[in-house]
Structure 1
Amino acid sequence: MTDLYPMKLTPVAKSAIWGGERLRRDWQKPSDLPVVAETWELAVREKENNIIQNGPFQGKTLANVFKNTQKDLIGTRAGGDRFPLLVKFIDANDRLSVQVHPDDAFAGAVEGDLGKTEMWYIVDADEGASILLGLVPGATAEDFARATAAGDPEPVLRRIKVQKNDCFFIPAGMPHAIGKGILVAEIQQNCDLTYRVFDYNRRDKNGNLRELHIDKALQVTKPFTDNEVDAIRYARGKESNGQLANCPYFAVQKVALEKIFEGNVTNESFCSLLFLSGEGEVTANGVSVPFVKGDSIFLPAGIGAYTLHGTGEVLISTL
């Protein structure tokens, strides 16, 4: 692929009844939506696509560039012809529904889609905030089904208090919910399939109860031990202290910038840079692009050596 350079992406804002103002107020995410629940920072989908802010492809969507370049853009490690990852910020001003996502086998057979394994990095959290993640020790999928049928699955779900800088890995099939007062950076398979199990009897803007997908959710729910989760999370090995995940779908590293960080992007995979704090610039292939807190910068596969000059924290995601 020619014209390799760091591409700064414009986020796609999404609304939901549980969203808030944090992303617009504190992270300068532009949106005319009443509330901003999520910003999709790396998105190549049918309806949601990032616009490139700089360089030869300025004004084009990343999806348009991908359509014309395919694996030259994303790398040889990608399977199939779909863009493999979705990266987003999530502002939980209220608790999210209890939900579960299918794996590749179920999603492919039933939905014609990818499954959804994901990772949460807690960017910020109110004091006492918590998440629901997986079944309590000893609980089975049948216990989860009975609790759901009784109208409240929470008693069989593990509640975990969270704080800034925590990280959690959620394999497909694990029930979960983000609690109120949490800002999350999420790296996931490029899938938007969510089977909602319980939504606290909330109603949408038209007064209707939000749709549940209990039958499908119960078909895909699995109990996981911590060791089983870690086996998936680090299936390709744990190479450094800053590595948050190295699973079959993505690898994520957190880097604390002090002055200069040097990396390399081979033709095997693109690189997604999501800046959680600080400011500076990204330089690759002779092109420098400034960054501030909240920016998302895409490095195409094969761009080679790159440097980050500045301070702050960044999540680096690859295949």
Structure 2
Amino acid sequence: MDETRLYPLRFEPIYQYRLWGGRRLANLLSAPLPGDGPIGEAWVLTDRADHQSQIANGPLKGQTLGQVMKRFPESLMGKLSSRFTHFPLLLKFLDAHEMLSVQVHPSDAHPDLIPEGDTAKTEAWVVIDAAKGSQIYAGLKSGTTAGSLKESLLDGTIADHLVSISPNPGDAVFIPGGTVHTLGDDVVVFEVQQNSDTTFRLYDWGHIDPETKKPRALQVDEALACIEFGGSNGGLISPRVETTSPAERERLFDCHAFRLWRLLGQDRFTVGAKGEPRVLVGINGSGQLIYDGTTYTIGKGDVWLLPAEAGECQFQPSGEVNVLEIAIP
């Protein structure tokens, strides 16, 4: 009989080289960046065969998220344990110093475009930092057709067909599967997405990969096949304030794959939920998570997984905090 009890779990980031990346994640995360090249992504919670988050605290330190999913399915996932054999979300921080490729992810409406073992991919961004010229594109302008979009790939005018957003810190952008999107020119975001790594590139701004000295591969036919040309509900969203005391709780995203709230305040508030896991992400400030008589410090850039058996916990801020809380529907 396994007598180990689960507790709030902190994870180490997995840094990813990206040619469009920068070095600003060093200002957000405590783990030092490797080398001196461009780091575009920090995968901060992942349960994939090729990338497994490792626990950084407590008796389970060094074990992976996948191992804990197998060892403690009911304790970790609660009422969701029968639905998932792998943790269904992938969480990242992105530092887009240059523009990412213009890309699209498949939705459930196109199972033929989803590789075996993967899923559709809906995602969302919360802007952490942005420069004066930063840019986000999310969705197609009205009237754009497959023909006109394909023509724009040849003459480099694709941006003329994309809905443009000038991002500010705190902005929330929803990217359902089938939505054309990109971002860059010095913007840092937190990303929540389905646990999928399926991406189809439409256009790559003439980027040359310095490692291969060649352009990156495009998947134009696959991308065009899964774009929702009739319009999507993606783009910039308006937060919905659910409570204002003891902390302001704003609901940013509520879709089939995830729910996400932003918690702002300096007084003690409740996090977590009975019978289901929750994820906490520190954006600004710090505080103490209190569970079963033990305190756990949550600081800027930290990612913590609250197991289902933890239920509701108390969070005591050390001054003003900005914390994201994520649920699985």
Give TM-score, length-normalised by structure 2: 0.88
1:169 corresponds to: 174
Counting matched residue pairs gives 312
Q: Is residue 2:314 matched to residue 1:307?
A: yes
Residue 115 of structure 2 aligns with an amino acid whose one-letter code is E
1:260 corresponds to: 268
Residue 283 of structure 2 aligns with an amino acid whose one-letter code is L
Shift of the alpha carbon at 1:137? 2.0
> What fraction of aligned residue pairs are identical, expressed as a percent?
32
Flag structure 1 segments of 5+ consecutive residues without an equivalent.
none
Shift of the alpha carbon at 1:104? 2.7
How far apart, in 2, do the equivalents of 1:260 and 1:138 lie? 49
How far apart, in 1, do the equivalents of 2:230 and 2:323 lie? 29
Shift of the alpha carbon at 1:188? 0.5
100-109 vs 194-203, which moves further = 100-109
Q: Is residue 2:7 matched to residue 1:5?
A: yes
1:250 corresponds to: 258
Q: 1:77 to 1:138 in 2, by over 3 A?
A: farther
50-59 vs 161-170, which moves further = 50-59
2:20 corresponds to: 18
- Of 88, 91, 108, which aligns to 2:92? 88
Q: Is the 8 A contact 1:174 1:221 kept in 2?
A: yes
293-302 vs 257-266, which moves further = 257-266
Q: Is the 8 A contact 1:8 1:289 kept in 2?
A: no
Q: 1:28 to 1:4 in 2, by over 3 A?
A: closer
Query: How much is the aligned-residue C-alpha RMSD, in angstroms?
Result: 2.2
How far apart, in 2, do the equivalents of 1:36 and 1:29 lie? 13
Give TM-score, length-normalised by structure 1: 0.90
Q: Is the 8 A contact 2:23 2:33 kept in 1?
A: no
Flag structure 2 segments of 5+ consecutive residues without an equivalent.
243-248
Q: Is the 8 A contact 2:28 2:301 kept in 1?
A: no
Q: Counterpart of 1:143 in 2: which secondary structure?
A: helix
Alignment of 1:188-207 (within 5 A): 188-204=193-209, 205-207=211-213
Shift of the alpha carbon at 1:26? 4.7
Q: Is the 8 A contact 1:96 1:180 kept in 2?
A: no
Residue 114 of structure 1 aligns with an amino acid whose one-letter code is T
Q: Is the 8 A contact 2:173 2:234 kept in 1?
A: no
Q: Counterpart of 1:276 in 2: which secondary structure?
A: strand
- Of 220, 224, 244, which aligns to 1:214? 220
Alignment of 1:1-319 (within 5 A): 3-33=5-35, 34-77=37-80, 79-107=83-111, 110-112=114-116, 113-204=118-209, 205-223=211-229, 225=231, 228-229=233-234, 240=242, 242-267=250-275, 269-310=276-317, 311-319=320-328
